[in-house]
Structure 1
Amino acid sequence: MSFIDKIKETAKQNKQTIVLPESLERRTVEAAHTILEEDIANIILVGNKEEIAEVAKGLNIEKATIIEPTNFDQMDDYVDTLVELRKSKGMTSEQAKDLLVKDSLYLGVMMVKKGFADGMVAGAVNSTANVLRPSLQILKTAPGTKLVSSFFVMVVPDCEYGSNGTFVFSDCGLVPHPNAEELAAIAGSSANSFKALVGEEPVVGMLSFSTKGSASHPDVDKVVEATRIAKETYPNIKIDGEFQLDAAIVPSVGSSKAPESEIAGKANVLIFPDLDAGNIGYKLTQRLAKAEAYGPVTQGISKPVNDLSRGCSAEDIVGVVAITAVQAQNQK
């Protein structure tokens, strides 16, 4: 069974409700059809029922809950909550209602805030900034988490490394230049994400162009410091570094380059020093090793909200919804 099939099965065991606010996008509605047909999650679509029905011609979305912003019986309560959350920014009731009625992303996130939905997936027609802005304003970061970051689950065929070829790569999509403290936080969040989604013990390798002092540079110093902070902050997680990539995942190289490390050569969670390295790393693995790449998946928000690539397929949306549902299960 593939990684995503396992995720779907896990999602089905305790069905969550996921809101899809981009309901006038055909790919979104196609995904909703599949999710409901396979019984992966409950689905909320946001928009005018007649317009959604027009987009959904030929598809069965009868089991979806459709919320029309102009005729939503909980709107007044949502407006009051948003005003309270944004009062320091001077938001009025009129502004809040206008935002919730006109911007389905804000309404979707507010549904998650109020417990009407367990998570949200968007981004097929919206930028990452537009998807995450309401999430950070309304949901904020999870308790004990210093920042929001992202990761990819990479499933490499015919690979003996990692967890039978499965890895978490982070951060490959959100934080451009993390400092040492942020890099340590990304390591902790990524380890928890690996455990939640893959179901095995995370082994975290902090990546660099140096292995255990083989090179000297401020960029290496940052990873060394991040490793120290991560070990101190997350004593129950297996974390070590700094490692070159081969020393992190190849047992023979790890034992040669870092013989004192119990983690060298065994890493299944790879923490890249910056977004350049992470983005290049996941795309190289995806294209050259023909790996399946699931993400970017967001981590660190108090409730799960995930961003899609604007080039995503309906099948991609189904996968991200399943992952979001499992994240919601684990956060409860």
Structure 2
Amino acid sequence: MALSLRLKKGPSKFQQASDGSMTLIEHVRELRNRLFIASLGLVVGLIVGFILADATFQLLREPYCSLPGNTVDGVCKSFVQLSPATGFIIKLKIALWVGIVVSAPVWLYQLWAFIAPGLHRHERKWAYIFVALAAPLFAGGAALAYAVVDKGLYFLLDAGVTGADTTLEVSAYIDFVTSMILLFGVAFEFPLILLMLNFTGVASAKRLLSWWRIVVFLSFAFAAVATPDPGPFGMTLLALSLTALYLIAVGVSFINDRRKGRGKEIYAGLDDDAISPLEEERVPVGASDPIEAPTAIGGPTPVEKPAPLERRFDDMT
């Protein structure tokens, strides 16, 4: 007689965290384990980034080499290095950035696995969609910044009054390029905030569209303050990109509102101060029904006189 032994599997940690059966100590242990795994992924990413640092540096140097007079006979002009440790520090910075990008699937999954049990099923569905949109938006902003950073450099160097050579200090140049790429990438996540407000029912598409003056002003103000390029080219391009993304988000919000039937409520088109169009129905008021006399309430029961003190207790108490 063959007996099949089946191991009884208990609820997973995801199920325990979802139904609230996980204790506080178990939450802390899970957080510790996930941080440890994310750290290991980041260390592996740093190793990969350190290996790819030279190729990444050559890619970041292309806008500098595309400037007029910086490439002679196919050879790009060298940077100026003011400190012996500058090259190694830049390699570590590039390795850190590449490592964070390479290990992003690992630490993002650990972060999501820790937060997801606290969300409802429909909230997790929208979170998947927003995360899927965040990556291409960031990549699009970074690619746009990389494509136009050479034009910003040319404008800054050509519009200056020093007349100096275009040889740049390597640390300042790398900080300038990476800041532009990071800023454009983060700024391109702006429409996700608007879509989140609309999909969660906080703001309708009409309300989002009514904010267009504020959004345009804040886009230009943010671009003027946050962009490391003080020239008008980078600031204007970032502000116009934010405005275009805002209009796209509003268009998607209108489609979502039409799909959900928002704006078709019975009182949606009425102003709060508008008079009701319903006709007033006057009903004559007749005599009220007679009210019966109240029932008499009996008097209170007399309270007995308390016994003397020596009779309240026995010999034992």
When Rg is computed on C-alpha atoms for both structures, the one with the higher figure is 2
Higher relative contact order (CA 8 A, sep 6+): 1
Q: Structure 2 length as normaliser, TM-score?
A: 0.21
Higher helix proportion (structure 1 or 2): 2
Q: Structure 1 length as normaliser, TM-score?
A: 0.20
Higher strand proportion (structure 1 or 2): 1
